[in-house]
Every structure is written in C-alpha cells, then in structure tokens.
C-alpha cells in the first residue's frame, strides 16, 4: 500500500505532571475510514485527538498524519486537519458570520459572503447570521463550528464529542459531514461516549481504557473493570 495511512500512532504516550493519560497507543486509520474513539470521561480521548492535531506533543512515540510527522512537520499537519472540539473556539463578541469570515481569512482564503451564507444555511443557522455568538447555546456553537469546517473541508476530520448538546438534527448533520469526508478519500476520528449515535457512520471502534487502546466490535462496549484485549 503506497498511500500513507491517514493516521498512524506508534507507541504514543502522554503524561500531564506525573499522571500518564496515555500509556502506549498504537493505532492506524486508513484513508476512507471513520473510527469512533470510545472510553469513559477522562480516559484520554481528547488528549489523543489533540496529539493527532499536533496541538500538543507526545511524551513518547510518534504520530503521523498522511505520512507527515506531527512534531517535525507541524505546518503540514495544519493544512490537512480540521477540528471541532468541546469548545468550538468562537469569539463571543463577533457575529456568526464574522466568526466564519475570520476563520477563512486566517486560513488564507477569500471570505465570500455567498459561501458563508450557504454554510450557515446547511447547519441551520441562517437566521442567526448577524447575531453575536455570546447568546448562542452549546448546540448552536457546535453548528457554527461545523459550518466553519464545511467552508474548508479537511482531509482528516477530528471531532471531540460531536454529538454532545445536539438534537437529532444536529447528530444527522455531523454524520452527514463525516460521511462526506470519507467519500472524498479523507478520514474521520471522532470521540464519543455514546457509540449508538455513530453506529451508522463509524467503521471501527477503538476503545481507550487505562491509557491503552483496544479494537472493539461496533456494538456498545461492555462494562469492564479495566482495559484489555477485545
């Protein structure tokens, strides 16, 4: 297979202070795959996503995104990766449209009003185009975060708890977008503690427990006292 994997983690470990959040993760995600990361709160899902996005560095191990090393080739990673995190990373005092304009300009793209209007339409926020984000609910902020991703679809999509605070409509939006990325030859890594929502879209489930990862079948993960082999 000459194409590099979308995501390749080898022996990745990360600690905060003395606490090891991830102890030795090996994971490969190929292009065209959607992988659901499951695990309890605090199990390290967010940390893993941040490592892949090159926001933080691993304490040990290597991570490559489409062949690019996250530490040594960080600028390349940033052109390939799109993220929607817990916090959508918006500016409360700007309007929805202005947040998108800013994102486009920062990414070096022209900020066409038509494209912005269309993106807002797709996520159902058209009527809030000129409203300041300060008053937005959590669900609305996520939608705006999705709109931002729509305007610049990434090759690797990283979603952290994308279903939280979403109604069925929002959940469908997320899954639709993820499917779209997959069909364009990209890959998706999403974390959730409610696997049922991703069942239609995810190809695999990777479960994190005690800082280690294991591949599980696509049903609800059984409750285990500690992590182990599938």
Partner 1 sequence: MNAEARRIGAIVWKDLTAERRTKANFNAVVFLAGLILLLFGFAIGPDGQTMELIAGGVLWLTVLFSGVLSFNRSYEQELENGALEMLLLYPGDRRSIFVGKLLANLLFVLLVEVVMVPLAALLYDLPLWRFIAPLSLVLLLGTIGFVTLGTFYAAMASRLRAREVMLPLLLFPMLVPLLVGAVQATGGILNGDLLGSTAAWIRLLVVFDLIFFVAALFAFEYVIED
Partner 2 sequence: MSNGGLLAEAHRQPHWLAPTGWLALVAVVAAQVTGFLISRPDRVMGNLQKIMYVHVPSAWVAMLGFFLVFVASMLYLWRRDLKYDRLAASATEVSVLFTGLTLALGSIWGRPTWGIWWTWDPRLTSTAIMLLIYVGYLALRSFTEDEERRARWSAAVGVLGFLNVPIVYFSVKWWRTLHQVQTVDVTGTIGSSYAISLIINSLAFMVLFAWLVGLRTHVAGLERQREAWLEEQALTGSEANV
Binding-site ranges for partner 1 (CB under 8 A): 50, 53, 55-56, 75, 78-79, 81, 83, 85-94, 98, 102-103, 105-108, 132, 141
C-alpha to C-alpha distance for 103 and 100, rounded to whole angstroms: 5
Return the residue of 15, 69, 86, 152 that touches partner 2, per CB under 8 A: 15
Contact 116, 110 (CB under 8 A): no
Provide the token pair at 166. Answer: 């979403």
Q: For the window 64-103, what string marks contact with partner 2 as x by the rule CB under 8 A?
A: ----------------------------------------
> Tokens 């102890």 label which residue?
23
Which of 16, 93, 153, 200 contacts partner 2 by CB under 8 A?
16
* Coarse DSSP helix, strand, coil percentages of the chain, rounded to the nearest 5 percent: 35, 25, 40
Q: Which stretch binds partner 2 (CB under 8 A): 1-9, 32-40, 186-194, 222-230?
A: 222-230
- According to the binding rule CB under 8 A, does residue 227 interact with partner 2? yes
Q: Which residues are CB-neighbours of 148 under 8 A, at least 6 positions away?
A: 88, 99, 100, 103, 119
Q: Could you list the residues that contact partner 2 (CB under 8 A)?
A: 13, 15-20, 23-24, 26, 57, 59-60, 210-212, 226-228
């Amino acid at each position: 297979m000459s194409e590099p994997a979308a995501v390749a983690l080898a022996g990745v470990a990360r600690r905060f202070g003395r606490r090891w959040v991830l102890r030795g993760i090996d994971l490969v995600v190929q292009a065209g795959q959607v992988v659901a990361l499951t695990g309890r709160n605090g199990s390290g899902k967010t940390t893993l996503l941040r490592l892949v996005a090159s926001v933080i560095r691993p304490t040990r191990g290597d991570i490559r995104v489409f062949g690019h090393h996250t530490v040594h080739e960080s600028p390349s990673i940033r052109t390939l990766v799109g993220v929607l995190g817990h916090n959508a990373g918006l500016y409360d005092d700007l309007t929805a449209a202005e947040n998108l304009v800013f994102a486009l300009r920062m990414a070096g793209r022209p900020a066409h009003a038509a494209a912005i209007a269309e993106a807002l339409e797709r996520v159902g926020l058209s009527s809030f185009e000129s409203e300041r984000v300060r008053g937005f609910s959590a669900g609305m902020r996520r939608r705006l975060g999705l709109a931002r991703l729509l305007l610049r679809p990434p090759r690797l999509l990283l979603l952290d708890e994308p279903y939280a605070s979403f109604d069925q409509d929002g959940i469908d939006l997320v899954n639709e977008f993820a499917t779209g990325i997959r069909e364009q030859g990209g890959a998706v890594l999403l974390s959730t503690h409610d696997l049922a929502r991703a069942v239609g879209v995810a190809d695999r489930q990777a479960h994190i427990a005690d800082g280690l990862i294991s591949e599980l079948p696509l049903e609800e993960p059984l409750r285990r006292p500690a992590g182990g082999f599938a």
